[in-house]
Chain A
Amino acid sequence: QKEVEQNSGPLSVPEGAIASLNCTYSDRVSQSFFWYRQYSGKSPELIMSIYSNGDKEDGRFTAQLNKASQYVSLLIRDSQPSDSATYLCAVKGSKTSYDKVIFGPGTSLSVIP
Chain B
Amino acid sequence: DADVTQTPRNRITKTGKRIMLECSQTKGHDRMYWYRQDPGLGLRLIYYSFDVKDINKGEISDGYSVSRQAQAKFSLSLESAIPNQTALYFCATSDSGTGNYGYTFGSGTRLTVV
Contact = CB atoms under 8 A, between A and B. Distances in A.
Interface string A23-52: 000000000101010000011111001000
Interface of A is mostly: strand
Interface stretch (A10-18, A57-65, A67-75, A101-109): A101-109
Interface centre among B43, B45, B106 (most CB of A within 10 A): B43
Contact of A105 (B40, B90, B104): B40
Interface residues of B, number: 21
B42 A46 contact: no
Interface residues of A, number: 20
Interface centre among A45, A88, A99, A100 (most CB of B within 10 A): A99
Interface of B: 31, 40-43, 45, 48, 50, 56, 90, 94, 96, 100-108
